[in-house]
């Protein structure tokens, strides 16, 4: 069986760079959204209901996990 070396082609390197750039932007947006949720709880915490606090925590966690997924995708591609 003939193994192809896709990573040696310039086009593949460009595609990988574009995907890494996209994931970096997504990761940054998710981290910012997570920090915004935390800041919102810190500033409005006493005025928020328990349900609002739980939803805010869940949103922050979801954004942090999504940011982690984006980072892992970049590392799995290499050239990171």
Contact present, 31 and 59 (Cβ < 8 Å): no
Predicted local confidence at residue 73, as pLDDT:
93
Predicted local confidence at residue 12, as pLDDT:
83
Which stretches of the chain score pLDDT less than 50?
1-2
Total domains in the chain come to 1
Residue 3, in any domain of the structure: no
Q: Which domain holds residue 35?
A: 14-77
Residue 21, in any domain of the structure: yes
Cβ-based neighbours of 4, under 8 Å, separated by 6 or more:
none
pTM: 0.78
Predicted local confidence at residue 1, as pLDDT:
41
Residue 9, in any domain of the structure: no
């Amino acid at each position: 069986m003939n193994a192809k070396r896709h990573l040696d082609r310039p086009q593949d390197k460009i595609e990988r760079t574009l995907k890494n750039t996209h994931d970096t932007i997504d990761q940054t947006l998710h981290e910012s959204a997570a920090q915004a949720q935390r800041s919102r709880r810190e500033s409005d915490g006493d005025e928020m209901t328990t349900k609002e606090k739980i939803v805010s925590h869940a949103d922050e966690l979801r954004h942090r996990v999504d940011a982690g997924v984006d980072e892992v995708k970049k590392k799995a591609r290499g050239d990171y």
